[in-house]
Structure formats: C-alpha cells, structure tokens
Structure 1
C-alpha cells in the first residue's frame, strides 16, 4: 500500500472553525463552496489536510444517519498513488442550503 505521509489521517478538528458562523456566511452568499461536499473536501483538504487542488475528488455516497438525522457524505480522493475517503457531515442545517464540514479521513 503506498504511503502519503503528508496527508492528515483520522478525525479532523480545525481550530477556530465556527459552524454557525460558516452557515451564516453561506446564507449570505459567501463561501458557497461549503454547500458542496466535493468542493468542501477539496478546499478544506487543500488548506488543512495535505491534499492538492488537482487531486481527483469523487462523491461516493450521501446518507442520513438514522439516530441523529444528520446528513453525511463520503468523497473519494485520488492523491498521487494513494486513495482516501473523506467523510463529511452537515452540522447546522440539512439539505441543499446546509454547509458541509470534514469529519474524518481514511486511507483506502
């Protein structure tokens, strides 16, 4: 299995990430990339997780967690010789107007 040590693996916690403020910005028409799980994986992945903008990002699935009702998405990222699953969820609002945040990165 190829190694890509520059990529952050595991649970993702971005210091200072305020979900309510991010949702409010999207509601006001700013940072609309947050409304797409693929674009969120790309932008957050490039800025914080060691991924690259020109990696290949593919939406694998979206599902609703039965207990919480939270909407989740899984984006597969091909990063050079490595492949990762980036898991995201919608913390503030569910559906097309809700922001996405990265929760976890797992190597494939």
Structure 2
C-alpha cells in the first residue's frame, strides 16, 4: 500500500469517527459507530467541564442534548482546543438568546475560572 493510499484510508477512518462519515471498506461499521459514540461522549464531558457556570444554570438537564446536537453539527477542526469548542458553543447559545451576552473579558474570566 502506498503512502497516499494509507493517508486516504486514515482520512476516511477519521471522517467516520468524528464527522459521521461511512466506515471505510474492510472496517466493521458497528465497531466504528461504537468508537465514534465514545469519542462524542468524551468531547461532551470535556466541554461540559469547561463551560461557564451560567450555561449549566440556564440549560440544566437540556445541556446534554444541546451539546450532543452541537457536537454533531460541529466536528472538531484541526488546530482547535477544547477551550475553543467551549467558547464556540457558548457563542452559539448566546446567538440563540439562551444565555445572556457578556463582554469578551467577562466570558474569558468566567471560562478561566472553570478551567482551573
């Protein structure tokens, strides 16, 4: 197998794991789905820990389902951190009017508090 073929297979597997792509040929789709679910759950837990307290207070039990929907619609981008994800999710909630707007400085301060 050439390097290019290997790279293409790796890219297809990655897409299946994090972007709901189809399982590559020769790889068990059920196993890929199981691993993809585990990765989404890990991302959801990490995001929940990083979100400002106000997000938890406002959304309550709705937080998990909202995170799941957001994660499905926003695959991780290369070079972004979980903190970037948490900030992007919070911006989305603010745009939907679910969380009040804050200054950027207040948002960063609140998120830093959650990170330490």
- Tell me the TM-score normalised to structure 1 length: 0.28
More strand by share: 1
Higher helix share: 2
Q: TM-score, normalised by structure 2?
A: 0.27
